[in-house]
Chains A and B, each alone.
Chain A
């Protein structure tokens, strides 16, 4: 039997505060997950994907929206983040292992480290990522 633990999605305005607010809501929704690493990883994945979409996609334009969602079924989690700005050139190298001394440029590196896999849809307007949960859930 499939155990559906989390299913949330939302449309956000393009502002850092709305990202923070949604991530705190996400943190609460992830409460049933037993493993702290899974909770941390999923929140971090959304923070990075939303920040990329907000900054590089929507360019902080308040007229453009962000949409995101997370589904967790059994031990599989998949999340997505979509923006209304310029399509992401996903044919170019997405993960740079930037010098440790650099102050920015780690977003995609973090997504690659914490997701088992990720891909782009809608000409690069939407990122979808997957993670197999390490510790199961309180419900199944």
Chain B
């Protein structure tokens, strides 16, 4: 089964979410198995970025594909915990 790891090159913030959604969806459509977002280079996620993560999760859930987030720094992990999104996402 195909596995895709998508390395984010931009913070997940309001001004970038439309472009990111389009690019990530394209990468999702080119693969079929688990889909992993790599946050190694991401320093900031705002509420619009959280919305994007939820949208991507819903798309993958509908296709019965696993959505995995990796390499989040401590601040981003805390943000996902404070907003309780960590309970719905697979974070490694």
The prevalent SS among residues of B at the interface is helix
Q: Does B23 contact A (CB under 8 A)?
A: no
Given A48-B47, A104-B47 in contact, is the A40-B82 Cβ separation under 8 Å?
no
A interface residue numbers (CB < 8 A to B): 16-17, 19-20, 23, 27, 36-37, 40, 43-44, 47-48, 51, 100-107, 109-110, 113
Binds A, one of B1-9, B25-33, B84-92: B84-92
On whether the beta carbons of B75 and A37 are closer than 8 Å, the reply is yes
The prevalent SS among residues of A at the interface is helix
Residues of A contacting B74 with CB < 8 Å? 36-37
For the complex, give the distance between the alpha carbons of A110 and B47 in Å: 8
The 9 closest A-B pairs by CB, nearest first: A16-B15, A103-B51, A40-B75, A106-B47, A20-B15, A47-B46, A103-B54, A107-B47, A113-B82
